[in-house]
Amino acid sequence: MLWDQHACVELVETADLRDLRRYRGAGGGYVSLNVGYAPHAPALTASLLRSFRAQVDAIDGVELAATVADIDRIAGRGDTAVAFDLEDCAPLGGDLDAVGTLVAQGVRTLGPTYNHANRAGGGCLDARDDGLTPWGRDLVAEMNARGMVPDGSHVGARTTLDMCAASTRPVVFSHSNMRAVWEHPRNITDEQARAAASTGGVVGITGVGIFLGPNTPTLEAMIRHLEYAVELLGIDHVGVSTDFSFDWETFRDEIVRMPELYDASYTRWGPMEWMPPETFVGLGAALAARGWTDVDIAAVLGGNFRRVALESWEPLP
């Protein structure tokens, strides 16, 4: 199956989720859909979850997945399974008990910070990162206990290393590329990638143009990052995600409208470009043409993130 560990729609209740059917060219798979980030209070995320869950229930070809067995069943018939993720802990409202509530609504991955420091720790665009805070450590522990995967994407380097040291379950970078291949503050160092792999986690190479190269959302650019990551970490610790914004025009406007969340690295090469699902579903064929084995392709396209879900989604007894 093709497992997209992070994609985005406009974060409004009226967003149209029928575009999720664009993944069906893969012949079955999974997508983690973002449902909140740094500016959002708990009430808005709760409202978005109600709207998005109701829409997925009503759209032919997509279905909510509460378990890995659900994903296998949905993908096995050629459809797309859906769960949710959060970028930043603001939608928790400072309440650790909210982790369990969100898991019950299908939120399975959370990055503690979104680009800038908050109560949990530092962000990847901060000049200074003091690491995971005591509350952030409690958050990681609660996520481990409740079946939510800790995510280092958008998080500061020191904070991600602290997350990996604190977590008793796999830590992922759901949508982060390799800084050794392309220098960008959203990309991660070899040290960060190795730390996640040491937890049993996975680095999800993503299709955003400015993270792949000078705004180059091509399969060739994505494969450069994939092959570097596999060489560094081994085949068992690399996956993929589009980080595709179905609302890309709105997001481009947001970068200009909310400069406090971003920096010049987001606009240095012109308006951001993304790899759409229609290109993404061709990744397996592109890897095969480069001589990758079927086993290795299956691991990177979905098997590795599926393993993390198997090891993480069930709450601790």
- Residue range 157-204, pLDDT digits in tens: 999 999 999 999 999 999 999 999 999 999 999 999 999 999 999 999
What value does the mean pLDDT take over residues 261-277?
95
In the chain, where the domains are located = 2-312
Whether residue 104 has pLDDT greater than 90: yes
pLDDT at 307: 98
pLDDT digits (tens, 9 = 90+) for 42-86: 999 999 999 999 999 999 999 999 999 999 999 999 999 999 999
Specify whether the CB–CB gap between 305 and 204 falls below 8 A.
yes
Query: 32, 23 in Cβ contact below 8 A?
Result: no
CA dihedral sign, ordered 59, 27, 306, 190: negative
pLDDT the model gives residue 119 = 98
pLDDT band at 135 (very low <50, low <70, confident <90, very high): very high
Instruction: Tell me which H or E stretch contains 7.
Output: strand 2-7
Position 201 scores a pLDDT of 99
SS3 assignment, position 92:
helix
- pLDDT tens for 207-231 read 999 999 999 999 999 999 999 999 9
The pLDDT score that the predictor gives to residue 251 is 94
pLDDT for 11 equals: 97
Q: What mean pLDDT value characterizes the chain?
A: 97
The pLDDT value given to residue 296:
98
Average pLDDT over residues 254-272: 92
Cβ neighbors of 4 (< 8 A, separation 6 or more) are 23, 29, 30, 31, 32, 240, 241, 242, 244, 277, 280
Question: What residues are paired with 80 via a beta bridge?
Answer: 29, 62
**What mean pLDDT do residues 271-277 have?**
96
% of the chain beyond a pLDDT of 90: 98
Confidence of residue 288 (pLDDT cuts 50, 70, 90): very high
Q: Are β-strands 203-206 and 107-111 bridged in parallel, bridged antiparallel, or unpaired? A: unpaired
Q: CA 271, CA 82: separation in Å to the nearest integer?
A: 29
pTM here is 0.97
pLDDT at 317 over 90: no
Residue 185: per-residue pLDDT: 97
- Convert the pLDDT of each residue in 235-253 to its tens digit: 999 999 999 999 999 999 9
Q: Which fold has domain 2-312?
A: TIM Barrel (3.20.20)
Whether residue 38 has pLDDT greater than 90: yes
If phi over 0 gives left and psi between -120 and 50 gives alpha, with beta otherwise, what is residue 132? Answer: beta
